[in-house]
Amino acid sequence: MRYGMVIDLQRCVGCGACALACKAENNTRERANGQSFNWADFLIWTEGSYPKAKTHVMPVLCNHCTKAPCVENCPTTPTALYKTPEGLTMHNAELCIGCQNCQEACPYSVQSMKDEPRQYSVLSYNEEDKSAHPRWIDGKTLIEACTTSGAEISRRTEQVPPDRTRFKHPDYGSTRRPGIVEKCTFCAHRIANGMEPACVEACPSEARIFGDQDDPNSNVSKRKQKHKTLRLKEKEGTEPNVYYVRNYAGTR
């Protein structure tokens, strides 16, 4: 068993349904302090000149690398970041000390997107001693006694965030506490229950295929066989388990 994902860029239309489904599923917060908190995000660039220009969109997420630098550089004992036998790169929220070494080691992350402008970072860091969901503790109202506030909605729904999807997993909660990093889990809590990752299920174009790379009959294996594959920053030697096939704007 070796989990992996194939993203078919011809099928992908760059709509963002995956990234929003991820935010809804994993209850990730809004961007702040150089951290995106987007476990699913995008790499977008335009190349060429009018009228031959093409815009490329690549959905990005944690690559669940076979040789994961985040794990190798995690200083805790046991390490907060670790590889499961099925190939997931997992993060144990309890063990994490928020040192951000993983962000520095990961070729797909930065410690601060503010200091080092990037389009994405698969690892994000929750600042220490600050609410991980400030939007929902904010009592500010636009019009006193007439419009509501984040704090009031979370009080009335008894959840932070109010649309929090509740689930349990031994390694992580459905929200994060201050002072730790966070990243894509391949929705381990879902796959353990026979479901696909939220981004896969939500994709309206069926561009994302998830499954067992060791099973030659899995859709992931078949698609890897059928097409030339590409992985991000292959030269880094991390052996990502997220593969891209075909072209986003390849028909002209």
Partner 1 sequence: MRVRRRTFLKASAAAGALAGLGAGPALNAFADGRADRRPNRARYAPGSWVSTTCQGCTTWCPAEVFVQDGRAVKVRGNQHSKQNDGTLCPRGSLALQQLYDPDRVKVPMKRTNTAKGRGVDPKWVPISWDEALDTIADKIIALRKNKEAHKYLLMRGRYTYMRDMIYDAMTKIIGSPNNISHSAICAEAEKFGPYYTEGMWGYRDYDIANTKYAVIWGCDPLSSNRQVPAAIRRWGDLLDRGKVIAIDPQQHTTANKAHKWLPIVPGQDGALALAFAHVILKEGLWFKEFVGDFKDGKNLFAAGDKVDEESFAEVHTHGLVKWWNLAVRRCNPEWAAKVTGIPVDDIYSVARGMAEAAPNAMVWLGPGACMQVRGAYAALAIHALNGLLGCVDNVGGTLDASKIPVKKMPKVDAYKDELAKQKHKKMDQRGYLEFPSLKKGKPGGGVVTNNLADGILNEDPYDVKVAIGYMNNFAFSCGGAARWEKALAKLPFFAHITTHISETSQFADIILPAPTAMFEKWGWVKSKQNRHSFVSLLKPVVEPLWEVYGDETAVPYLIAEKLAERGFTNLLDFYKKEMKDPETGAEPKNVSEFEVYALKYYTKPLWDGSSKDLGDDIAGWDAFVERGMWNSVPYAYKKRWGKFKTKTKKFEFFSETLKKALTAHAEKHKVSVDDVLKATKYEARGDYAFVPHYEEPYVVEGTEEYPFAFLDFKSRLNREGRSANSPWYMEFKRLDPGDESWDDVLKLNPADARKLGIKAGDMVRVTSATGTFTCKAKPWEGIRPGVASKCFGQGHWAYGRVASTDFAKAEARGVNNNEIMPAEYDRLSGSTARNGGFARVKITKV
Does the protein bind partner 1 through residue 217 (CB under 8 A)? no
Does the protein bind partner 1 through residue 33 (CB under 8 A)? no
Compare residues 107 and 216 and give the one whose CB is closer to partner 1: 107
Compare residues 10 and 214 and give the one whose CB is closer to partner 1: 10
Q: List Cβ<8 Å contacts ≥24 apart for 196-200.
A: 197/5, 198/18, 198/21, 198/22, 198/24, 198/25, 198/26, 199/18, 199/19, 199/21, 199/22, 199/40, 199/59, 199/61, 200/5, 200/18
Residue list 163-202, contact with partner 1 (CB under 8 A): 163-180, 188-193, 198, 201-202
Q: Are 87 and 4 in contact (CB under 8 A)?
A: yes
Does the protein bind partner 1 through residue 51 (CB under 8 A)? yes
Does the protein bind partner 1 through residue 112 (CB under 8 A)? yes
The token pair at 91 is 């993060």
Nearest to 210 by CA among 74, 49, 87: 87
Single out the segment in contact with partner 1 by CB under 8 A; choices: 28-36, 208-216, 226-234, 237-245: 28-36
Q: 135-167 burial by CB neighbour count: b if 16+ within 10 A, else e?
A: bbeeeeeeeeeeeebbbebbbeeebbbbebeeb
Q: Are 121 and 103 in contact (CB under 8 A)?
A: yes
Does the protein bind partner 1 through residue 156 (CB under 8 A)? yes
Angstrom distance (rounded) from CA 12 to CA 32: 28
Single out the segment in contact with partner 1 by CB under 8 A; choices: 60-68, 138-146, 215-223, 232-240: 138-146
Compare residues 85 and 216 and give the one whose CB is closer to partner 1: 85
Angstrom distance (rounded) from CA 89 to CA 184: 9
Compare residues 163 and 239 and give the one whose CB is closer to partner 1: 163
Does the protein bind partner 1 through residue 107 (CB under 8 A)? no
Does the protein bind partner 1 through residue 117 (CB under 8 A)? no
Does the protein bind partner 1 through residue 137 (CB under 8 A)? no
Compare residues 19 and 70 and give the one whose CB is closer to partner 1: 19
Kindly tell me which residue out of 1, 33, 75, 239 binds partner 1, with binding defined by CB under 8 A: 75
Residue list 77-106, contact with partner 1 (CB under 8 A): 77-78, 80, 82, 84-85, 88, 90, 92-101, 104
